[in-house]
Amino acid sequence: MNKFIALTSIVGLSISASALAMNSSSSSSSSSSSSSSQPLTSESDLKKMLEGFQAAQALDQAETEQRRKNLEEIFKNIKAPALNQAAIQAITQPIGDLFDSPMADFFALTHKPVPGKKAISSALLPTPIAPYTQAILHTTKSLEQTLYVSGMLPMLKDGSLVHDPKEATILAMNNINALLSEAGMDWTNVIDVIILARNIEKDFSIISTTYGKYLDAEFAGKTSVLLPTRACFQAALPKDAVLEMKVTAHSK
């Protein structure tokens, strides 16, 4: 028991006394837990966490399962500093090995963005038909993020196109939304939209109305949201598509 209390002290976390109260006469007794966390402040804190977990591995096996559940709850509240990604993974992977669980979930919950460029893609979208990246996420040193999304055709997963202007607009925006989601954003983060239409005179009214209704639904219940800037041009498009749409989004 003392080892476990020491472990939680090492990482600057607190667990309620009720969560620590274990019935010594039965390993299956249940306990309720609540936790609060303070942000980790350095790479050394993560190393100390690893040392603590290695010490905890030696605890009586009958008590370990409940404590593991408590720690998994704590993981959800930990906020790690913006350390080098490789360093964090090197430190956290052994923790995952101790608990026989993938470290990816823990890493996703705790890491902050790393400055640089990252390719963003979605399994919901068809494979690109030309040499391009579906989207690129750029993160600055101040951890502001800009997502640049390639032009999205109204294309289904199987590569077939939708030619009805209304349905095509919805599909193109859904495809963009899939990439926004992969980057941890949504349409409220979009700051600029470019629409290429095969026939502006014929289809612009339908495209614009459908686009507006889509954004109304995305922005519903959200305050202080600005509509993105927008431009629309007529163009000959690949596969004679009715439209193509690309966006830029920003988050900080």
pLDDT score, position 37: 47
Please calculate the CA angle 111-64-81 and round it to the nearest 5 degrees.
15
pLDDT score, position 57: 61
Maximum Cα interatomic distance, the chain, rounded to a whole number of Å? 80
pLDDT score, position 26: 39
Q: What torsion, rounded to 10 degrees, do the Cα atoms 211, 216, 217, 220 define? A: 160
Distance between CA 186 and CA 202 in Å, rounded?
30
Distance between CA 11 and CA 80 in Å, rounded?
11
pLDDT score, position 16: 36
* 32 close to 18: Cβ distance less than 8 angstroms: yes
Q: Which CATH superfamily is domain 116-251 in?
A: RutC-like (3.30.1330.40)
How many helices (H) and strands (E) are present in the chain, helices listed first?
Answer: 8, 8
- The structural domains of the chain, with segments of one domain joined by +, span 2-110, 116-251
**Half-sphere exposure for 222 (CA within 13 Å, toward CB):** 13
Query: Which of 194, 199, 211, 205 has the alpha carbon at shortest distance from 241?
Result: 199
What the block records as the tokens of 111 is 């890491």
pLDDT score, position 102: 44
* 228 close to 193: Cβ distance less than 8 angstroms: yes
Q: What is the mean pLDDT for each group of 10 consecutive residues in the chain (252 residues)?
A: 42 37 39 46 70 64 62 55 50 51 44 75 88 92 92 94 97 96 94 97 97 95 90 95 97 88
- Number of residues written out for the chain: 252
